């Protein structure tokens, strides 16, 4: 799976390793048809390896 980071992630200084940790260790919530063009969206909410809570959103 290819992962691209948005300007918002870079603006808030969220590193790829932190986001990938949350993706790998938590189950996503799937929201049907809520993306920009009606795509499905996945959302992971969990603590990264430093104990900080992150919300990671992906368009499938």
What's residue 35's pLDDT?
A: 62
Instruction: Compute CA distances 5 → 2, 16, 41, 59, whole Å.
Output: 10, 8, 15, 11
Measure the CA–CA gap between 29 and 55, rounded to whole angstroms.
Answer: 11
What total number of domains does the chain contain? 1
Residues of the chain above pLDDT 90, percent? 43
Structural domain includes residue 47: yes
33 within domain boundaries: yes
The answer to the question of residue 31 being in a domain is yes
Of 38 and 28, more confident: 28
Residue 34, both tokens? 């809520």
Does the predicted TM-score (pTM) go above 0.85?
no
Q: Which domain holds residue 53?
A: 7-59
pLDDT of residue 25: 96
Q: Indicate if the pLDDT at residue 34 is higher than 80.
A: no
pLDDT at 36: 67
Compare 8 and 22 and report the one with higher pLDDT. Answer: 22
Residue 43 lies in a domain: yes
Q: Is residue 2 part of a domain?
A: no
């Amino acid at each position: 799976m290819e992962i691209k980071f948005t300007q918002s992630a870079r603006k808030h200084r969220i590193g790829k390793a932190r986001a990938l940790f949350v993706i790998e260790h938590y189950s996503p919530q799937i929201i049907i048809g809520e993306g920009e063009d009606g795509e499905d969206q996945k959302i992971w909410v969990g603590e990264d390896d430093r104990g900080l809570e992150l919300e990671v959103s992906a368009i499938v």
